[in-house]
Amino acid sequence: MTEESSFLPLTTSDIFVMAPELSLGIVFLLLVVADLLLPKRVSRLTIGWLSIAGLAISATLTVIVMLDGSVREGGQPFSLLGASYVVDDFGGLLKLVFLAGTALIALMAIGSVKRDDAIVDRAELFYLLLPAAMGAMIMASSGNLVTLYIGLELLSITSYVLVALRKRSTASAEAAFKYVVIGGISSAFILFGMSYLYGLTGSVELSAFRIALPEALNNYPALVYVGFFFLIAGFAVKIAAAPFHAWAPDVYQGAPTPISAFLAVVSKGAALAAVLRILYNSAFFITGGGSNGGKPIGDDVYLALLIAAAAAMLVGTAAALRQRQMKRLLALSGAANGGYLLVPIGLNFTIVHSNNVSEFIFYLIAYLFMTIGAFAVLTVISQSPGHEELRGFSGLYYRAPWTAAAMVIFVLSLAGLPISGGFFGKLFILLGAANAKAYWLVAIMVVSSLISYYFYFAIVRQMFMRSSNEDEGEIAVPATAGAVIWICAAATAALGVAPGPLLDWIQAVFTIQGDLFVR
């Protein structure tokens, strides 16, 4: 199947619906110029506050676009640039998640980077977060493979620079080198898989796959397997899903702590959004869920995702058992949580289970708050002993009792225990797997959660049952870091007490036919 794609210039209505992304680009350029022109005596943390303001403007514009009824014509998503970019509520919800996460990370960085002597150019950390967030937003709204790859590379390239910002640290340079090499390999895998899909269908448009792929299966079934499995392998590296997770502990350890949080939440979430967007416009239509009848290849693709999810959960939790370095522990915890987030994507839609996307977005939001909160606590704790080992949490209850209480909330949520957002997030995913009769996956989720209790509660044991070996008094918590900690703690606790309103809102905003399937 061949087609001609015409990429039309932006119209006024196009500019309106792309205002969230365009505003981030404008603010980024202004901050780059401001960093060059501002006198040296002016604190570069001012750039941090302006970056947060830019993120807030973009989030406001995203909400305005979502609420504007003229964006949808006949109930269908708005597409532009030759249907290469789709503005729908699925993308809008994820954009709000990415912007909120990036804003919390920037706020955390304001209180931590000024104490990190290894970071020479502090302003760069803040304004480089903007194009990275813009890349994640583009991935969430991509309507074809080219646009998706542009967003992926925008996110990846800026992430490489952000990881290397601790220029006076050899660990940061090593982490950046590893990240560039592994990231380049994963991008090559993704591009190779995309090239096969393009060769088979004659199109890069996601909307064309549902018609072209069933036809391609008649003649080239092996090539369809190759294309999808290369895509899965490439995105598994980005998500840090086992067995492609080995880079994450080294990179997280060497990167500035706020950037580690960004990789764990925003970068991972963008990759998962891309996987969901691609598969439900391609593999879905060569399975029993599509209108073209059941095909074994599509079912195998979703099964491969579930196997990757199971491996991520088991390997991530098992590898974290012996970790005593907190960033490495959180990296492996993130690998396991990436497995949980893959489950609703890999289950596919069935008659008895159609809440996949709602479960995915709910747990992504819960994961955002508990992970960023844990990293924020780590930024505070690591300043006192000068290291990021688990023993730095010794006696935290006696040195900073409120911070210790917040960390308990995050640990409960990461472990999936009541009453926390993580508990309900995992419960919804587990019940969805049970409804889909994937009982083997339910068993793996339960086992991995039980294993994780050991290393999560090792943190609690250090805080409450160990005395400090650092011979220091109370820990000073910067105002910005404290704000991030308690915003995340309050949100995590609220999602644990009353998860219904958020889940109902997601289900009210999102529809499978009107948002996910690109027209």
Q: Mean of the pLDDT values across residues 27-50?
A: 86
Give residue-wise pLDDT tens across range 101-146. 999 999 999 988 877 777 777 888 999 999 999 999 999 998 899 9
Side chain identity, residue 203: S
Is residue 7, in this structure, part of any structural domain at all? no
Query: What is the rounded CA–CA span in Å between residue 172 and residue 123?
Result: 17
The pLDDT-based confidence of 300 (bands split at 50, 70, 90) is confident
Is residue 289 predicted with pLDDT exceeding 60? Answer: no
For the segment 449-471, what is each residue's pLDDT rounded down to a tens digit? 999 999 999 999 988 876 655 44
Using an 8 Å Cβ cutoff, are 259 and 327 in contact? no
5 within domain boundaries: no
The model's pLDDT over 317-351, given as tens digits with 9 standing for 90+, comes to 999 998 889 999 999 999 999 999 999 998 876 65
pTM for this model (two decimals): 0.92
CA 204, distance to chain mean position in Å, is 24
Specify the number of domains making up the chain.
Answer: 1
Residue 69: the pLDDT is 61
**Closest alpha carbon to 426 in 341, 315, 495, 326:** 341
Higher pLDDT, 508 or 232: 232
Average pLDDT over every residue of 241-253:
91
What is the C-alpha separation between 175 and 165, in angstroms, rounded?
A: 11
Contact 488, 370 (CB under 8 A): yes
Mean pLDDT of 244-270: 94
Most confident of 43-47, 141-145, 208-212, 362-366: 362-366
pLDDT for the residue 294: 47
- DSSP string over 263-286: IIIIIHHHHHHHHHHHHTTTGGGG
Judge whether 3 lies within some domain: no
What integer pLDDT is reported at residue 418 of this predicted model? 86
Residue 9 lies in a domain: no
Residue-level pLDDT at 292? 46
**Would 337 be classed as within a structural domain?**
yes
The radius of gyration of the chain from alpha carbons, rounded to an integer in Å, stands at 22
The pair of structure tokens assigned to 57 is: 């403007």
Answer yes or no: is 6 within a domain.
no
Query: For residue 114, how many other CB atoms are within 10 A of its CB?
Result: 15
- Residue 1's pLDDT band (cuts 50, 70, 90): very low
Q: Is 64 exposed, middle or buried (0-12, 13-18, 19+ CB in 10 A)?
A: middle
The region, left, alpha or beta by phi > 0 then psi within -120 to 50, assigned to residue 205 is beta
Judge whether 55 lies within some domain.
yes
Alpha helices, DSSP H only, in 113-205?
122-127, 129-140, 145-163, 170-201
For residue 274, is pLDDT > 90? yes
Residue 8 lies in a domain: no
Is the pLDDT reported for residue 8 higher than 80? no
How is residue 70 annotated by DSSP?
G
Is the model more confident about 136 or about 353?
Answer: 136
**Domain that includes residue 443, residue range:** 15-516
Q: Higher-confidence residue: 82 or 203? A: 203
Confidence (pLDDT) at 413:
95
Count other C-beta atoms under 10 Å from residue 353's C-beta. Answer: 19
Query: Would the pLDDT of 514 be above 70?
Result: no
The whole-angstrom separation of Cα 386 and Cα 371 is: 21
